Every structure is written in C-alpha cells, then in structure tokens.
Amino acid sequence: MADWSEKGPFKAMSLKQFIPIKLQPWIFVLLAIIFQTSNVVYPASLMAMKSETSLLNEDIMMCLYAAFAGMNIAFPMMWRFKFTFTTKEILTICVSTMIVCNLIVPLTTFMPLLLFVCFLCGFAKMWATFECISTINPWLAPNLDFPKFFPLLYMMILCPIYISSAIDINLTYYFSWQSMHYLVTGMLLLVFLFVRLFMRKFYLMGKGKLLGFDFTGLILWSLLMIQMSFIAIYGEHYNWLDSEVIRFIIGTCLITVGLCFGRMYFIRHPYIKWDALAYKRIPVALFLFFIMDAIMETPNSLQGILTTQLLGFDTLNLSKLQWWGALGTFLGCLFSLWWLRYVRLPIIRLAFFGFLCALMYQCAMYFLTSENLKLSYLYVPTVLRTFGYASLYCSLTYYMKEFIPFDHFLQVLAITGVIRSGVGGSVGSALYGYGMRYAIAKNSVTNSQINEVMAVSIKELWGITIIVCIFIFLFVLLFDTPARPFVRKLYKMVKQ
C-alpha cells in the first residue's frame, strides 16, 4: 500500500469541503474523546446515585457491566456498518441514542429498562468511536502502522475515562450526580448540530446491505455477557447456589453457551466464527486479559474501602487520583509507542514490564496500608497501576494482531470483551468482596477495634494478590525468548 503522505494531506470526505484540511483529523479526535466521556452510569458517582435512589450497589454495578457488554459485543459488525451507512448517518444515530439514554437514566429506577438503556448506550458509544477512529486511520497510522496505531488509540480511549471521572466527582460534590448526565447531553447536542450542519453523505464503496448478518448471534452473545456478569455481581447478594435465582441464571447461561457455540458450527456466517478461537495463542492472551482485569479490581475494591471507609477521604480529594491515573495512562501509552514503534523490542517483554508495574502497585499498597496513610502517598502507586494497565493493553492487543488475520481480529476483540467485561472484572469484584467479608469476620475474633481489623484484612488481601501476581509474572516470563530453550529442555526431561 502506498504511503498516504505521497498522496497528499489527509482529507475526510465526510466533512464539507470548506473546513480546513489541517483541522479535519483533529475534529474526529475531539469527537472520539467526547464519545469516550459519555456514559449512562459513572462509577465515580456510585455512592451518590445509590443514596438518592432505591437501587442497590449491585444494581448500579450491573448497569455498568451492561454498558461494557454493549461496547465489546459491537466489534464484529463495525466494518459492515461502515460500508452500509455514511459517517453522517452513523454519528447521527449514535449521538441521538446516547442523548436519549443520558436523559432516561436520571429519571427511572426500573432495572430492566436501565440495563437495556446502558447496553444500548455502550453499543452506540463504541460504534461512534470506531467510526471516528477508522475515518482518521490513514492519518493516525499510515501504511497500517499498528505499533503506532494501538498506543495512540488507547491514549484517546483510556485517558478521557479518568478525566471524565474527575469531572464527575466534582460535579457530584458541588451539585448532584445528575449533573454529569446533563453536561454530557449538552456536549452531545453540540456534536449532533455539528454532524447535521458540517457533514455530508459520502459512501466509501457504494451503499451496502446487511443481508446475511447474524443478528440472532449478536443477541445470544450479548445475553451471555449479561448472564455471566449477573452471576458474578449478584452471587453474594443472593447467597450463591442457595438461591433459586442464581441456579436459574446458571442454567440459562449454560444453554446460551451451547447456542452460541452451536451457531459457530451450523450457521454459514455466525456472528463469531469458530476459526477466531482456533489460534493457539488465543488462550494465553485471553488468560492474561482475564487475570489483568480481575487483579485490576483492587482499586475499586480494596483501595476504595481503604480510602473511603477506613481513612474517610471525601470524594473531592479522591478526584485527584483520577488525574494521576490519566497521567499514568498517558505515559504508559507513550512508552508503548516508543517500545513498539521506535526501538521495536519484543512485544512479550512490554507485557512483562506492564505486569511488573501492576505488581509494584500491589506491593506499594501492601506496605502503605495503615490507619495514618496520607492521600499524597497514593499518587505514585496510581501512576504505576495505570502505566502498567496501558502497557498491557497496548502489548496484548498488538500481540493478537500479529498472528490473527484481519477478518477475525474484531471477532477476537469481542471474545476478549466477553472474557474481560463479562468475566474478568465482575469475577474479580466478587472475589475481593467475598474475601474482604471473610477476612473481617476472621480477624474480628481476635481484635475488637474495627479500624485495625479493616486495615489488617485489607493488607491480607493485598498480600494474597501479590502472591498471585508473582506466579502470573513468572508465567509471562516463560514466554520470553531467552527462557524458551530452558522451558523446552524442562518439558523434555519431564516427558522422559
């Protein structure tokens, strides 16, 4: 493919021609950032939302994971949509959907409606973001330069999440938790006006059709993600297998799994093909994604309990950590860009280094956990955590792209989303919640001071997490090139 620079500067055909050419790609970057700040449930305002409504903590978390499901399950159909609709049509549909969803959420507590609205908003958010990124792809990474593309992509996706959380905390503190919804609605209305006034209809390859698309498979895979999240989130609330609700959901989940995998064999064009799971390195990547997201629940679980319940920090002070999280993410993506694009060192070593940063965060929190901890002591661990998280995301995504062909890559991303959002994060949250209750009950027998009991219990869970991280760290190390001859020799010795 010829270099885009040889064909002249980037020009977005979906924008009207009087818009300056140099400004055109930055418009889509700004739109993508706005879309990433748009949610229907904001984790930062969870406590305020729960206190003003009749919703449980599990209800709000379920809404959050429904939005994650909508975002991740959308990947396999993105290119079909891009070649069926124009950019103007896509952004009009997505922005209108997100506006309606943001207006509905503050007005209702009916859980089925909330789950549907959250799923729909997550789907529209990912669709709109994909449209913007794919439009500027020739400008962002000419010649399909993926070592440059993925770090810049995650920089645009992950950094706005932390920034929007910091803004949400301040709006909730000074006004109400609904304020963020109204702010986002206002920004989306401006985007809607821009799309209608400054964009034109332009088909890349003529108007396409969605004939032969497996919409039934889309519904089944979406249902599977919702069911797995429900089991992990509500399991403790309903007392796991002692509850008929959990047993019923597990039974229906197994049926859904059978239907999803059955369609892989018996449908000509399934939503996710079996070939997308047949690559030998896929299980390793999926396992690392699962472990990463499960372990990265510690900021929401252990650190959240430490800072709010034990230390009593208010939300306004905690918003400072979001800015440090954005800084760590930015530095992690920048480091990944330097590693993959300029020095071109092995991908697995970048994942190794990212996991090392996550391990250092866990170790730092283990030694810092006490009743007299200052907020400023959490700045560096937060940067370490988000730096490692961004590095792992960039390295593992690029690792999968190296051995997966283009027609299966987006399907693998959807499967990765099922593992991360449907299983990893929710399972990690459930395990830490159960572990915290068990540790407090155990330590309360020998100590009546509740603050000391909470500090010791949190420290115990940090220690267990560190041990697990060390084993995973060694597991990742085995995939590094210098270690492979030793692994092969050890395998032959065991086999003999």
Tens of pLDDT, residues 232-252: 888 888 888 888 999 999 999
Label residue 253 by pLDDT band (50, 70, 90): very high
Instruction: To the nearest 10°, report the CA torsion of 171, 111, 98, 156.
Output: 70
Say how far apart CA 478 and CA 260 lie, in whole Å: 33
Task: Write out the two tokens for 154.
Answer: 């995650």
| pLDDT, greater one: 454 or 475 | 454
| CATH architecture of the domain formed by 18-211 | Up-down Bundle (1.20)
Range 452-481 average pLDDT? 81
What pLDDT, on the 0 to 100 scale, is given for residue 190? 95
pLDDT of 101 reads 92
Residue 199, strand partner residues: 15
The phi and psi torsions of 15 (rounded to 5 degrees) equal -95, 150
Cα separation, 445 vs 407, in Å, equals 58
Residue 225 is predicted with a pLDDT of 87
Q: Are 230 and 62 in contact (CB under 8 A)?
A: yes
Query: What residues contact residue 40 under an 8 Å CB cut-off, 6+ apart?
Result: 63, 67, 101, 102, 104, 105, 117, 118, 121, 122, 181
Looking at residues 163-190, what average pLDDT do you find? 89
Mean pLDDT of 455-473: 87
Cβ neighbours for 239, distance < 8 A, ≥ 6 positions apart? 246
3-state DSSP call for residue 199?
Answer: strand
Arithmetic mean of pLDDT, 406-412: 81
* Cross-strand pairs, 15: 199
What pLDDT digit, counting tens, does each position of 14-28 carry?
A: 888 888 888 989 999
- Return the half-sphere exposure (C-beta side, CA atoms, 13 A cut-off) of residue 30: 11
Mean model confidence pLDDT for the chain: 84
Question: Which residue, 291, 290, 264, is CA-closest to 275?
Answer: 264
Q: Residue 243, by phi and psi: left (phi above 0), alpha (psi -120 to 50) or beta?
A: beta
Q: If we measure between CA atoms, which residue out of 46, 68, 86 comes closest to residue 125?
A: 68
Q: Per-residue confidence at 7, pLDDT binned at 50, 70, 90?
A: low
The residue among 209, 194, 215 whose CA lies nearest residue 91 is 194
Same fold, 18-211 and 275-496: yes
pLDDT at 69 over 90: no
The contacts of residue 332 (CB under 8 Å, 6+ apart) are 354, 357, 386, 387, 388, 389, 390, 391, 394
Task: Give the integer Cα–Cα distance in Å for 334 and 155.
Answer: 8
Give 493's pLDDT tier (boundaries 50, 70, 90): low
Confidence of residue 276 (pLDDT cuts 50, 70, 90): confident
Residue 119 pLDDT class (50, 70, 90 cuts): very high
DSSP string covering 432-467: HHHHHHHHHHHHTTT---HHHHHHHHHHHHHHHHHH
Q: Highest mean pLDDT range out of 160-169, 198-207, 326-335?
A: 326-335
pLDDT tens profile 343-354:
888 888 888 888
**For the segment 199-225, what is each residue's pLDDT rounded down to a tens digit?**
888 776 666 676 667 888 889 999 988
Q: What is the pLDDT of residue 480?
A: 55
| Residue range 275-496, CATH number | 1.20.1250.20
The domain locations on the chain are 18-211, 215-270, 275-496
Distance CA 418, CA 222 (A): 9
Angle between helices 379-403 and 347-368 (to 10 degrees): 160
User: Which is more confidently placed, 177 or 493?
Assistant: 177
Confidence band for 184, pLDDT divided at 50, 70 and 90:
very high
- Sign, CA dihedral 395-401-403-408, equals positive
Q: Look at residue 85 and tell me whether its pLDDT is greater than 70.
A: yes
**What integer pLDDT is reported at residue 206 of this predicted model?**
61
In the predicted model, is pLDDT for residue 65 greater than 70? yes
Report the pLDDT value the prediction gives residue 490, as an integer from 0 to 100: 57
Say whether pLDDT at 301 is over 60. yes
193, pLDDT greater than 70: yes
**Maximum mean pLDDT: which of 237-241, 306-310, 464-468:** 464-468
Residue 35: DSSP 8-state: H
Predicted confidence at residue 6, as pLDDT, reads 43
Amino acid of residue 18: F
29 and 136 Cβ atoms separated by less than 8 Å = yes
Residue 99 has pLDDT above 90, yes or no: yes
Taking CA atoms, 153 is separated from 9, 148, 366, in Å, by 20, 9, 32
**Phi, psi angle pair for 14, to nearest 5°:** -80, -15
What's the longest Cα–Cα distance across the chain?
74
Tokens of 364: 């730092």
CB neighbours of residue 210 within 10 Å: 12
